[in-house]
Every structure is written in structure tokens, then in C-alpha cells.
């Protein structure tokens, strides 16, 4: 499912991308009209704490989810009650730009990441859009543990 997070939900947008959701994040002060149009054009679920945006989305018969908390774990649980994670999509998107990560041969990144990271990992991924490298470091283990816990809770 495609989702759209407004400017108040940057951390949630990042976590939804980690979970594998195609997540549009409004970060350039788009108007509510522009957000609604984006959600409509791309058939996205609007996720927001903005009551006016939610109200206007409902009036246009768009899918909306109003959040009532600023706690990221509670926000994620609320979202995961509405939409389900596909395990195969977890950790497949760039957390910055939402692009799908591409596997990259280890030999191609020698000298482009720290030597200890290069030596301690066998698999790497690359974001073509923002030219960042990704690997399964200990931070990923923590993310996967959190996601597993959230799935149980929702």
C-alpha cells in the first residue's frame, strides 16, 4: 500500500520506509490542496495528525488515517492495525528518498564505505537516486527487532 505522511510525521515516514511501505513524505511545505492532489493521483493513504487535512481528505473520499499521538511506537502500531507489513519488503527502500534499493556487488564499493564496514559485511545495497550505500549492520538488527515487536502488538 502507498502512503502519504504530512510534514509533522517525518520519523514515522522513515519507519514506514524501513517497513517497506512506499511512503511519500511532504517536506517542502506543500499546501493541503497539493497533498490531497498527490494522494488522489497516486492512490495513497493519507496519514496525519492534522484534523483539517483529515477532514478534507474524507470529504474527497480519500483513504485517511488520523493519528492521535506523538509517540512513534504508538503511531506505528496505529498504522499497522490499518495496513499489514509484507515481510519481503522490509529494508528494501531508501529511508531518505523512498527509492527501492538495488543490490550492489561488494567489489564495486571498495573505498566508498569505511574499511571495517566493508570487511564485516558481505551484502550491500545502493540507492540510485541519492547515491547512498546500505548494509545489514547492527542497526538493522535493532530495526528488525522493533518491527517484529510492533507486528505482535498490532
Q: Cα–chain-centroid distance for residue 50?
A: 19
Same domain, yes or no: 55 and 105: no
Domain with 105 in it: 92-135
CA distance 24 to 137: 26
Same domain, yes or no: 98 and 34: no
- pLDDT score of 151: 79
CATH of the domain at 33: 3.40.50
Same domain, yes or no: 49 and 80: yes
CA distance 109 to 118: 8
- pLDDT score of 116: 94
Same domain, yes or no: 99 and 123: yes
- Whether the Cβ atoms of residue 94 and residue 17 lie closer than 8 Å to each other: yes
Which residues, other chains included, contact 92 with Cβ-Cβ below 8 Å and sequence gap of 6+?
20, 100, 101
What does the pLDDT look like over 36-89, one tens digit per residue? 999 999 999 999 999 999 999 999 999 999 999 999 999 999 999 999 999 999
152 occurs within a structural domain: no
- pLDDT score of 154: 64
Same domain, yes or no: 58 and 85: yes
Same domain, yes or no: 65 and 130: no
Same domain, yes or no: 26 and 98: no
Asked whether residue 27 carries a pLDDT value surpassing 90, the answer given is no
Domain boundary among 52, 70, 89: 89
Report the predicted TM-score, pTM, of the whole model to 2 decimal places: 0.92
Amino acid at each position: 500500500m502507498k502512503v502519504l505522511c504530512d510534514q509533522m510525521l517525518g520519523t514515522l515516514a522513515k519507519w514506514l520506509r524501513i517497513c517497506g511501505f512506499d511512503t511519500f513524505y511532504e517536506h517542502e511545505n506543500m499546501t493541503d490542496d497539493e497533498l490531497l492532489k498527490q494522494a488522489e493521483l497516486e492512490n495513497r493513504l493519507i496519514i496525519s495528525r492534522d484534523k483539517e487535512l483529515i477532514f478534507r481528505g474524507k470529504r474527497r473520499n480519500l483513504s485517511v488515517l488520523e493519528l492521535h499521538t506523538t509517540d512513534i511506537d504508538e503511531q506505528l502500531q496505529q498504522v499497522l492495525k490499518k495496513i499489514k507489513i509484507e515481510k519481503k519488503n522490509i529494508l528494501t527502500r531508501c529511508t531518505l528518498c523512498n527509492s527501492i534499493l538495488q543490490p550492489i556487488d561488494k567489489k564495486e564499493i571498495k573505498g566508498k564505505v569505511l574499511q571495517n564496514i566493508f570487511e564485516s559485511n558481505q551484502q550491500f545495497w545502493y540507492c540510485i537516486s541519492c547515491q547512498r550505500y546500505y548494509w545489514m549492520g547492527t542497526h538493522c538488527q535493532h530495526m528488525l527487532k522493533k518491527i517484529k515487536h510492533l507486528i505482535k502488538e498490532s
